[in-house]
Structure 1
Amino acid sequence: MWEFLQHLSFWDWLALGTVLLILEVFGTGGYLLWMGIAAAAVGVLKFLIPGLGLELQLLLFAVLSILTAVYWWKRQRSAAKASDQPGLNMRGSELIGRTFLVHEAIIEGRGKIKVSDGVWIVTGPDTPAGVHVRVISQDGVILRVETV
């Protein structure tokens, strides 16, 4: 094994880079992408400088792996911007402050209201069906209401 490592060719680095990139396709979340690129870069350097020693090859691989990963991480963080739709995927938050008719009477603090084509579970004071209530807050999938 040590003999093999002492005589790594550029093909070995390119093969390692290819294997890492193929494994990345199976969904590692970007971890192997940068290592694959670093291995390919070391392969190219080994092709351009055939006398590159094993220690320097391994050092280059480690440094390039870290540098490419940090570069991408910083680039992703700087490219992140605030959403122009901050309420997206916060389904009940747009209902706060709106009034609805009680669909099923609120008995012992629990009932249902109809919102468009859906029905939401609500908590609040006991209220008969057909009375208007205002949504005052949300707790997961349960809306808190008060009578209007």
Structure 2
Amino acid sequence: MADALALLAALGPAWSWVIAGLVLAGAEIVAPGVFLIWFGLAALATGLAAALIPMPWQGQTLLFAGLALVLVGLATRLHRRAGRHDAILNRADRGLIGREGVLAEPIVQGTGRIRFDDTLWRIEGPDLPAGGRVRVVGLSGTVLTVEAA
């Protein structure tokens, strides 16, 4: 342990940050979670800043903490935005909105059935005869809401 500390002291603070950044980025590869990479990038940026601008270790630590907060916050925001699209992944019913089809059964008293691909769906909408064309405009649970197309 003493040898490692002596080596880091000999390399200087900038290289210590760069090595820490590479170790954190490598840890992200070994144990993926899309979290350590941001700390690794913050450490790399701190190392580059420490190499260009002489600053005490307190300033380097504050810079690292600030960069880590900003990067993790940005990544969280981007992940949430992308998560909205992931919510419809593997949800065939969400892909039906806007789709048009032919009624398999008539819509009587507001309910009927329609076939999309290999599934027979319950639908709600205006009364229409079998064979009528409809467009899916909404979804409530497993029941599609349709209108005449």
TM-score, length-normalised on structure 2?
Answer: 0.51
Counting only pairs closer than 5 Å after superposition, residues 1-148 of structure 1 correspond to structure 2 as 9-25=13-29, 26-29=31-34, 31-48=35-52, 52-69=55-72, 90-95=94-99, 98-102=101-105, 112-115=113-116, 117-123=117-123, 131-132=130-131, 134=134, 137-144=138-145
Structure 1 residues 58 and 137, CA gap change in structure 2 (3 angstroms) = closer
The 1:145/1:72 distance shift into structure 2, 3 A limit, reads closer
Compared CA separation, residues 95 and 41, structure 1 to 2 (3 A): closer
- Spell out, residue by residue over 1:62-97, the C-alpha distance to the aligned partner (whole angstroms, 9 max, x if none): 1232344567788x6xxx9xxxxxxxx73221246x
Q: 1:142 to 1:35 in 2, by over 3 A?
A: same
Q: Distance in 2 between matches of 1:67 and 1:143?
A: 43
Contact 1:120/1:142 (8 A) holds in 2: no
AA partner of residue 130 (structure 2): V
- Alpha-carbon distance change, 94 to 16 in structure 1, aligned in 2, over 3 angstroms: same
Q: 1:112 to 1:119 in 2, by over 3 A?
A: farther
CA displacement at 1:131 relative to structure 2: 3.1
Does the 8 Å contact 1:120/1:141 carry over to 2? Answer: no
- Secondary structure of 1:102's match? coil
Structure 1 stretch 60-69 or stretch 14-23: which is displaced more? 60-69
Structure 1 residues 10-62: Cα deviation after superposition (integer angstroms, max 9, x where no partner): 33211210122123334333x3333212211222343446x643212211211
**1: distance between equivalents of 2:41 and 2:19?**
11
Q: Which has the higher helix share?
A: 2
Give the AA of the match of 2:56. G
Alignment TM-score, normalising by the size of structure 1 = 0.51
Dislocated runs of 4+, deviation >6 Å: 71-74
Aligned residues of 2:14 and 2:47 also touching (Cα < 8 A): yes
Q: Show the counterpart of 1:86.
A: none
1:120–1:143 contact (8 Å) kept in structure 2: no
Q: Which has the higher strand share?
A: 1
Task: Give the counterpart letter for 1:121 in structure 2.
Answer: W
Structure 2 letter corresponding to 1:20: L
Q: State, as a whole percentage, how many aligned pairs show the same letter.
A: 27
Count of equivalent residues: 121
